[in-house]
Chain A
Amino acid sequence: MIHETYQTAFNLASDELVSYSRIVESVGRDHGKKIEPVRLPAAEINRQGIPLPFPLEEHLLYSGAKIRQLFGIEYMPFKKGLREALKYYLMCRSSAALPPPDRPGDARNSIMSADLVLCNLGASDARLVGGARLDCPSGKQDTFMGAQDALGELSGPKTQVLDCQGGMVLPGFNDAHCHPIAFAMTQRYLDCSARQVGCISDIQAILRKQAGKAGKERWLRGAQLDATAIAESNALPNRWELTRRYPISRWYWWSDPASIASSTAALSRCGIDDSTLDSDAEMLGRDYYQR
């Protein structure tokens, strides 16, 4: 059948007839506006130079029967096609905040040209998909997160396109990474995240509650303590603050993957006391005085 297409020409035309009245009706319906056409003679329209899409003095009728008989192709309905064209037109206008371009060159250069396009990626946060917009660090251009179909619209002459090969993209600074094992471990610890803890008394309440369940011989382990979320200190609470009313010595806190706050008893179990010196790999902070 392919060879039947050789050395020949085909019109691509559906059977739908399109008129100005249909266009007006379709655009008005899709955009919820009542349009009241004004009738003018064709000569007057030409004299005024009103830009209309089709010749005014003749019908243009084409047949697509030849290729339809060969391949049975179907066409997008006129109303749907016009709606898509209008959608793209409005999107271009809103994206560029400029009048629609008259020339293709203008369209390519002025509309939706992204600095960077990351494609074929995984997102760590559901908020990043489905058309959300993020500010990119340069501040010059938004980064649009969406379907791959939008790639062509966003690319410009200076756009850098990176294929992430299905990898994960994490918003962050220079050293975005994660600690899955540590995270898994801390799921069994006391939750001292900002969701639960806003002040030192919150920590005390958690300690007190868990100490009652665990008994004196069990260690209390906390995790996810965010010093910046504690109203009083903006730092990890010291041992006096944590044991002010309910002296509990067997605790330590894993505040983040890089630091641990421990009671004196916990440190002693590790062989650490006042005489222990900092090593070149770690530093010991000590509560020498009360805040």
Chain B
Amino acid sequence: MGSYFAGRVFVEELAKQPDSAIYVFNRGHRPLGMIGITELVGDREQAEQIQRVIPAKEWDAVVDFCAYTPAHVKSLLDNLPGKIMQYIFITPPASIRKAGTCRLQKTACNFPARNLSSAAMQIMATTKVMAESMLQHTCESLGIAYTILRPTIIYGYYNYAPREKLLFRFAAQPSADNHSIARHGLVQFHLGRGYGAHDHALHR
């Protein structure tokens, strides 16, 4: 599930492994076109398409890069044909504030930011946490092993929507326009980001 950015890199790396059999399920808007990869076209939000398009097999692992809600997780687990041995859920970390405090209970929300309001970010973070909970409960009831991987932030090739787009846009402009970044009001804040070292506060 998901093959635009991190999912694509994952498929490219996995395809290097001999004897790997890889199936990719997405809406087909941007086919991988890689030899040895079976691409299945369908919409994960349509349960009927999950049932019809994905063949019934004993899946060693289902790797999901694009589940954002509990419904996404539940729908896939309920409708994917065949037997799932392990469900690997790739999802950004999320945090939920306790009312009236600024203390991070888990980790901070890590969604594509457009300076969302605090309330909006809390809603998104809550949805992500609920998706993880849905995964845990459903997998346990179905007897499926699961693993959750939470990349904090991913830099690299294939990033079609970089968070740093404002800065990148500046870099793409002609040299004569060096001061455009100032007009856009880029700021410098001393905020540590992404890769932390304070595990005592952050582990589950």
Contacts and interface: CB of A to CB of B under 8 A. Distances in A.
Interface of A: 3, 5-21, 23-24, 27, 30-31, 33-40, 42, 45-46, 48-56, 58-67, 75-76, 78, 81-82, 84-90, 92-93, 100-105, 107-109, 117, 119-120, 148-149, 151-157, 159, 161, 163
Contact of A8 (B147, B167, B195): B147
Given A23-B164, A35-B181, A155 B33 contact: yes
Given A24-B167, A101-B160, A157-B28, A6 B86 contact: yes
Interface string B145-177: 111111111111111111111111111100100
Contacts of B57: none
A63 B196 contact: yes
Given A7-B146, A40-B187, A159 B160 contact: no
Given A52-B113, A119-B33, A119-B35, A84 B157 contact: yes
B184 A12 contact: no
B4 interface: yes
Nearest to A42: B189
B155 A81 contact: yes
A251 B137 CA distance: 90
A85 B156 contact: yes
Contacts of A53: 113, 163-164
Contacts of A105: 29
Given A6-B146, A24-B188, A63-B203, A156 B31 contact: yes
Contacts of A8: 147-148
Contact of B189 (A56, A66, A100, A109): A56
A149 B139 CA distance: 35
By secondary structure, the B interface counts as loop
Interface of B: 3-4, 8, 12, 28-35, 86, 93, 102, 104, 107-110, 113-115, 121, 132, 136, 139-140, 145-172, 175, 178-179, 181-182, 184-199, 201-204
Contact of A35 (B29, B152, B175, B186): B186
Given A50-B184, A86-B171, A157 B115 contact: no
A102 B161 contact: yes
A60 B86 contact: no
Given A21-B190, A58-B108, A104-B4, A155 B155 contact: no
A20 B119 CA distance: 24
A54 B163 contact: yes
A55 B108 contact: yes
Contacts of A87: 157
B203 A66 contact: yes
Given A13-B152, A93-B172, A151-B33, A60 B188 contact: no
A11 B202 contact: yes
Given A39-B188, A58-B108, A120-B35, A11 B168 contact: no
B169 A100 contact: yes
A89 B163 contact: no
A61 B110 CA distance: 11
B165 A89 contact: yes
B166 A159 contact: no
Contacts of B160: 88, 92, 101, 104, 107-108
Contacts of A5: 147
A20 B190 contact: yes
Given A45-B185, A61-B202, A82-B164, A159 B31 contact: yes
B196 A6 contact: no
Contacts of B196: 13, 17, 60-63
B157 A58 contact: no
A157 B199 CA distance: 43
Contact of A108 (B4, B162, B202): B4
A86 B189 CA distance: 21
Contacts of B203: 63, 66
Nearest to A89: B168
A226 B170 CA distance: 55
A45 B33 contact: no
Given A51-B165, A105-B29, A63 B198 contact: yes
A151 to B, nearest CB: 5
Given A23-B167, A52-B115, A62-B202, A6 B147 contact: yes
B107 A60 contact: yes
Contact of A19 (B104, B184, B192, B204): B192
B156 A36 contact: no
B35 A152 contact: no
A16 B195 contact: yes
6 contacts: A3-B145, A33-B178, A37-B181, A100-B168, A107-B160, A119-B35
